[in-house]
Copies of this chain bind each other. A is one copy, B any other.
């Protein structure tokens, strides 16, 4: 059995590998609010246990074993988030920290029953896909809103890097998963973007925000 800290490290590596093809000590430390030296130690231990390959100074990759484990953790995290929002009535900006704890409860049966209870959801409250019990993820082709052109009409599929502040900003602007937007204008100066929801008037989004919105063609 892995400890909470070990699990969090594997999950951090997995998340970083989603973006890049190698994960680095500094970024893992930042994600876990810890220090690079602590991560170094942990990487050695997890490499010994066969969850990842650590090429010192050149980053980390997950083994098949580590990858499967990461998917189970992501599954647990996202199922709990879904439960918290859909059943208990939490806001989507309030669930991350709690799910960060609940994902470490060890019980295969628990997570399967939870999955069943929730009706086998495919996406969590932030639009992120929930791996099934075999680790399979529903494929989607999304792009960042910041990569869209004037005239594009897109649907918000997911919010990446879900910090509370960003989620509350989206709430305030009435943006949620599924909202359809038309890109009216992109300002070269600051990368900000004017968008118009299907119903309602247009408004502006900073590049900071549009960068974190994953969209699909509507």
Contact = CB atoms under 8 A, between A and B. Distances in A.
B101 A105 contact: yes
Interface of A is mostly: helix
A6 to B, nearest CB: 16
Contacts of A97: 107
B98 A114 contact: no
21 contacts: A84-B110, A87-B117, A88-B110, A88-B113, A88-B114, A88-B117, A89-B113, A89-B117, A90-B109, A90-B113, A94-B109, A97-B107, A98-B105, A98-B107, A98-B110, A101-B105, A101-B106, A101-B107, A102-B102, A102-B105, A105-B105
Interface of A: 84, 87-90, 94, 97-98, 101-102, 105-107, 109-110, 113-114, 117
